Chain A
Amino acid sequence: MPLMSEFSVDEVIITTMARQLKGEVLVSSVTAFGSLAAHLAKRLYAPDLAVLSTPESGMDVTPMPTLTLGQFLTDVQQGIPLTMEDIFDAIFTDHFRIWINPSQIDQYGNTNITCIGDWSRPKVALVGARGIPEDTSHLSETFYYILNHSPRSVVQHVDFRSGAGNGESRQHLGPHGAPTTLVTDLGVFDFRGPQGQMTIKSLHPGVSLEEVQERTGFPIGGGEGDILSTPPPTADDIRLIREADPLEVRKLELMSGPMAAEKFVNIYERERQTLHATYPRVGKLGRG
């Protein structure tokens, strides 16, 4: 078992996310973690993945996590362009995967990115359900990650179901869209409880069962007997993550507040210089 100091928690999470992806499916992402997991998976674990470089387009180019959702890589790298109709057709036909980063997930795998408190009078209005209802009614595998496992993020009941989990939510849905895997900073969780509740699949190196229970908003199953340890990243995993994200855009997802804000701007400017150096513009108007 390598020491934790050889890799950081973001590298454990991204590697674990990458190892879940398989097959020949479109992989989209709106976050640096999702984008890096797709990139790593394609390089080492699932070579047939059709990775997108923006949330909705740029298929089969090398993705790089960028702060403007990859918009500037599509044009210059000539990836295959897609439309929003292509994206939702791929979701409805189950040729699509995405790692979703919800604000809350509950014991049944219901997820929330809409609000804290009651919808009609929220304590905190978040962003709105976006495309999560489509994912959780159609995909045969749905993947979630949370970077700060706590009783506020891994809860007994979500305040609002933006995405459908197991149990009651499945009444009219059938199995497609049911939660498959949650990866957090503490471990990997699946949904093998008697009514599809969350259970422990493995704990990351150095994490104890007590810590997981303490930081989870409900009594969690799967802790009986020997608990598996999450396989750590290999030297190749770590190298590929660091090469694909030299500006460490991924670290921003672990921060918040003014510290993150200032770092954003710095990375953003360095990103521009990097893009400029790597991919000089060839505009269509400039061609003969």
Chain B
Amino acid sequence: MDKRMSIDEVVERIPNGATVAIGGSSISRKPMALVRALARSDRRDLTVIVDVGGPDVDLLLGTGRVAEVIYAFVGFEVLGLAPHFRRARQSQAIRFQEWTEYTVMAGLDAKIKRIPFMPTHATLGTDVLRVNPSFREINDPFGEETLVAVPALKPDVALIHVNYADIQGNGVILGDGHVDVLCAKAAKETFMSCERILSSEELQRFGRDVQILRVYSRGVVEIPWGAHPTGCAPDYRTDLRHLQDYLKAASSEEGWRQYESEFVDVDHPQYLTNHGGPEELVSRLKV
């Protein structure tokens, strides 16, 4: 089956109030072109699930698309805190649930295995257990231990970005895998953007790097630079200069409006042009 679709067709498949799991990790391999399309749409009241979030969560918060965030971390790593996330947390503008790296994985895994929860020791003795309304302390039915029950996370949609895919929806991830496979398996529908579409014969040469299996994919979009400004190893590095401009823009209302009009409310080809075009990006970000 040919699963190619356009960016706009992906957005059409995401209704108001949908729960959206996003792959990648902080400033690495986030499906940013898909996220930007969602950010400039009129979708509202989304629940966003991320293990390690960064510019993806921050942009969706900055453009007012989100009602709740489930996260283990949201930040810009070496560059500092995520400005819209920070503001929304401090002003209690929307709902937040603090999870942890493994518990997000466990929640997705519980959904995959069709069980209501996964038990873990993680979060015992921490305030995450106190403030997270979803977790429960339980007793080991076989012994004496106290454990934490992590409920299944049930994304309607997963958005991920990979290096290569074929038109049937198999995907190759060459750098760190993060939690993309779990997101793809747990979601009702997974939409995958990729740097390049290859033939299925070419794709099979990647062996075990073919991590996303087509049975889990609903749609494939070829979007070169689709993770920008996050990195997509080994194709290009994180654009730290752009992320710094983002942080500067987000510090004032006027700066943010200007950022939106230049880098969010434009289609992907125009987005690349506004960065000086692919050649400019190659010269700065290819290793």
Interfacial residues, chain A to chain B (CB-CB below 8 A): 30, 54-57, 67-69, 71-72, 74-76, 83-85, 88, 91, 114-115, 119-134, 136-138, 160-165, 168-173, 177, 252, 261, 264-265, 268-269, 272, 275-276, 279, 281, 283-285
* Among candidates A71, A133, A172, residue contacting B231 with C-beta atoms closer than 8 Å: A71
| CB-CB contacts below 8 Å: B252-287 with A | 284-285, 287
A164 to B127 CA separation, bound complex (whole angstroms): 9
- Of all chain A residues, the one with the shortest Cβ separation from B208 is A81
Q: Does B238 contact A (CB under 8 A)?
A: yes
- Of all chain A residues, the one with the shortest Cβ separation from B88 is A125
User: Chain A residues with Cβ under 8 A from B174's Cβ?
Assistant: 75, 284
* Among candidates B72, B85, B124, B234, residue contacting A283 with C-beta atoms closer than 8 Å: B234
| CB-CB contacts below 8 Å: B53-111 with A | 71-75, 77-79, 81-82, 85-86, 89-90, 92, 98, 100-103, 105
Q: Does B14 contact A (CB under 8 A)?
A: no
* A281:B72 contact, CB within 8 angstroms: no
User: Chain B residues with Cβ under 8 A from A268's Cβ?
Assistant: 237, 240-241
A163 to B98 CA separation, bound complex (whole angstroms): 13
- Of all chain B residues, the one with the shortest Cβ separation from A249 is B78
B227 CB → nearest A CB, Å: 11
User: Chain B residues with Cβ under 8 A from A276's Cβ?
Assistant: 287
A197 CB → nearest B CB, Å: 16
A108 to B49 CA separation, bound complex (whole angstroms): 32
Can you list 19 A-B contacts (CB < 8 A)? A57-B177, A68-B231, A71-B231, A72-B237, A74-B176, A74-B233, A75-B233, A85-B105, A114-B128, A121-B92, A128-B75, A129-B100, A131-B102, A134-B100, A161-B125, A165-B125, A264-B244, A268-B237, A284-B209
* A68:B125 contact, CB within 8 angstroms: no
* Among candidates B73, B81, B176, residue contacting A57 with C-beta atoms closer than 8 Å: B176
* A252:B78 contact, CB within 8 angstroms: yes
A160 to B72 CA separation, bound complex (whole angstroms): 14
Given A169-B125, A172-B125: A71 and B101 within 8 A (CB)? no
* Residue from B82, B85, B102, B285 having most chain A Cβ neighbours under 10 A: B102
Closest 5 CB pairs of A and B: A164-B125, A125-B89, A169-B125, A75-B234, A131-B101
Size bracket, chain B contacts: 35 or more
Q: Does B123 contact A (CB under 8 A)?
A: yes
Given A136-B125, A173-B121, A261-B244: A71 and B237 within 8 A (CB)? yes
* B126:A129 contact, CB within 8 angstroms: yes
User: Chain A residues with Cβ under 8 A from B206's Cβ?
Assistant: 284
Interfacial residues, chain B to chain A (CB-CB below 8 A): 25-28, 52, 71-75, 77-79, 81-82, 85-86, 89-90, 92, 98, 100-103, 105, 121-128, 131, 137, 145-146, 174-179, 202, 205-206, 209, 231, 233-234, 237-238, 240-241, 244, 284-285, 287
A201 CB → nearest B CB, Å: 24
User: Chain A residues with Cβ under 8 A from B284's Cβ?
Assistant: 269, 272
* Among candidates B52, B124, B205, B233, residue contacting A71 with C-beta atoms closer than 8 Å: B233
A76 to B127 CA separation, bound complex (whole angstroms): 41
B142 CB → nearest A CB, Å: 16
User: Chain B residues with Cβ under 8 A from A132's Cβ?
Assistant: 100, 126
- Of all chain A residues, the one with the shortest Cβ separation from B243 is A264
* Among candidates A72, A88, A168, residue contacting B287 with C-beta atoms closer than 8 Å: A72
User: Chain B residues with Cβ under 8 A from A136's Cβ?
Assistant: 125-126
